[in-house]
Structure 1
Amino acid sequence: MPNASLWSTDDQEINLSCLFGWNVIFCYPMTGSPGFSIPEGWVQIPGAAGCTPQACSYRDNYTELKRNGVGVYGISTQTSEAQKEASNRLRLPYPLLSDTDNSFSSALKLPLLEAGGLKLIKRLTLILKDDVIKKCFYPVFPPDKNVVEVIAWLSENQA
């Protein structure tokens, strides 16, 4: 993992190269927010829609992941304020990390999409053991079933 520190929804700076044990990082373009219009043509962009269902599926399976010693993080290029709103509204038990300057996505050369003048991370999921990427799911479809794939992979590969 690159030496990239990102602000979290619980007001901590998380250095992703310092994560230990098993961790899941799901990257997503953006969650919608009340009063904020999604970019024009959003639903026509392959892989753009579905961020909220994906985040909620990780929320709904968080207890199982934690029971198996797996940390969960969501990353987007949205501001910490937008992520805090989504985290509170959706009652997410795990932190969302803000990559507004694209330091994380640039360091890993992650695929991006542009919509409404915004540079957004395409949906993908990384499974880490300590600071090493062990598995990358890309593309991720359907978004709300990604957590099922992750749990299945972990059950076969987590030792």
Structure 2
Amino acid sequence: MAQRTQLGDADCAIAQALDVVGDWWTLLIVRDAARGLRRFEEFQRELGVSRKVLAERLKLLVEAGVLAREPYQDRPVRHEYRLTPRGRGLLPVLVALQDWGDGWILGEGEMTATTEEASREAVRVHALRGTRVPELLLPDRFGELRDPVAPDTAFTVLYCFPGAYARAESYPPGWGGIPGAKGCTFESCTYRDQLAEFTAAGATVHGVSAQRPDEQREFAEAEQLRFPLLSDAEFALTTALRLPTFRVAGVSRLKRLTLVVDRDRTVREVLYPVRDIEASVTTALATVRTAASGPAGV
């Protein structure tokens, strides 16, 4: 491996971070590790990078403590790579880069919690159909870790929302003027009121936001929600699925979208953008009922 040029500013955290993750391939490897890729061949197939370059970048990330190298086969010895706590600390960096790219490269730089039907952001999100949700755990509003995909029902409806609060004064300044941001309380209450129908159809409902568990708990108790709200404040699910975000008051928020996922963790339907909240809930329920009635839903 060629000797790396060391950045001279030892006191600048930005320079020191770039010394580890300052090239194209390195951050893309971290991105794909967050998406659930583990093995050398998986990274190479996804990235199209040469074996030499990939081996060098993986070695660098292991030496930097971003990835852990663990054997999964003895003869011949083969390894897989997993994000360490230090590596997971890069997830907000990936979210910020994606948010900037969606807003300023793929978009027009507007503050928005939604998108246009034909946007490249929407194309990326709709490409989740047929993919699997990686195995991960998110804290619920009580801090208990839960799988976002329910193990005991045929389907899970994951509705992602920007943020909902028990008190109006808790909303960030200017929230009502951000396209697509309003409506989180209405959406959650609509799922609450139709929860029995989702249950009868064989589906669990999970709400997901980047809010803290304590914020979600206060909201859920105020609105008497009877299904889990999951916190993705650490962006594990967001980076795993490359879910779209926007940033307001210094905090990254999930844009409103809905995924219908089956027991095998396969995304069966994607609703994005969500312009009509009530219609999106109706569509999610119809999707579950249709899927449950077919051979794959049995």
TM-score by length of 1: 0.92
Contact 1:72-1:94 within 8 A present in 2 as well: yes
What amino acid does structure 1 have at the position aligned with 2:162?
A: P
Distance, in Å, in 2 between the alignment partners of 1:144 and 1:15 is 26
| Equivalent residue, structure 2, for 1:12 | 144
Contact 1:2-1:17 within 8 A present in 2 as well: no
The SS at the match of 1:47 is: coil
Distance, in Å, in 2 between the alignment partners of 1:54 and 1:42 is 16
Provide, for residues 67-89 of structure 1, a one-character-per-residue CA deviation record: whole Å limited to 9, x for no partner. Answer: 12110100001010010111111
| Equivalent residue, structure 2, for 1:54 | 187
Instruction: Give the alignment partner of residue 76 of structure 1, picking from 209, 215, 232.
Output: 209
Distance, in Å, in 2 between the alignment partners of 1:18 and 1:55 is 18
What amino acid does structure 1 have at the position aligned with 2:251?
A: L
| Equivalent residue, structure 1, for 2:178 | 45
Distance, in Å, in 2 between the alignment partners of 1:155 and 1:65 is 9
What amino acid does structure 2 have at the position aligned with 1:156?
A: T
Distance, in Å, in 2 between the alignment partners of 1:153 and 1:120 is 26
Corresponding position: 1:97 with 2:230: yes
**How many residue pairs get matched?**
159
Structure with greater proportional helix content: 2
What amino acid does structure 1 have at the position aligned with 2:179?
A: P
Structure with larger Rg: 2
| Equivalent residue, structure 2, for 1:144 | 278
Structure with greater proportional strand content: 1
The SS at the match of 1:134 is: strand
Q: How does 1:18-33 map to 2 (within 5 A)?
A: 19=151, 21-33=154-166
| Equivalent residue, structure 2, for 1:153 | 287
The alpha-carbon deviation at position 153 of structure 1 amounts to 2.0
Distance, in Å, in 2 between the alignment partners of 1:24 and 1:36 is 29
The alpha-carbon deviation at position 62 of structure 1 amounts to 0.2
What amino acid does structure 2 have at the position aligned with 1:8?
A: D
Report the more deviating stretch, 118-127 or 10-19: 10-19
Provide, for residues 19-74 of structure 1, a one-character-per-residue CA deviation record: whole Å limited to 9, x for no partner. Answer: 35211000000002326432222122221110000000000000111112110100
Distance, in Å, in 1 between the alignment partners of 2:137 and 2:230 is 9
| Shift >4 Å, 4+ stretches | none
The SS at the match of 2:170 is: coil
Distance, in Å, in 1 between the alignment partners of 2:260 and 2:144 is 21
The alpha-carbon deviation at position 101 of structure 1 amounts to 0.7
Bigger relative CO (Cα 8 Å, ≥ 6 apart): 1
| Equivalent residue, structure 2, for 1:118 | 251
Distance, in Å, in 2 between the alignment partners of 1:19 and 1:141 is 30
Identity fraction in percent: 31
Distance, in Å, in 2 between the alignment partners of 1:52 and 1:101 is 22
Instruction: Give the alignment partner of residue 269 of structure 2, picking from 121, 127, 135.
Output: 135
TM-score by length of 2: 0.51
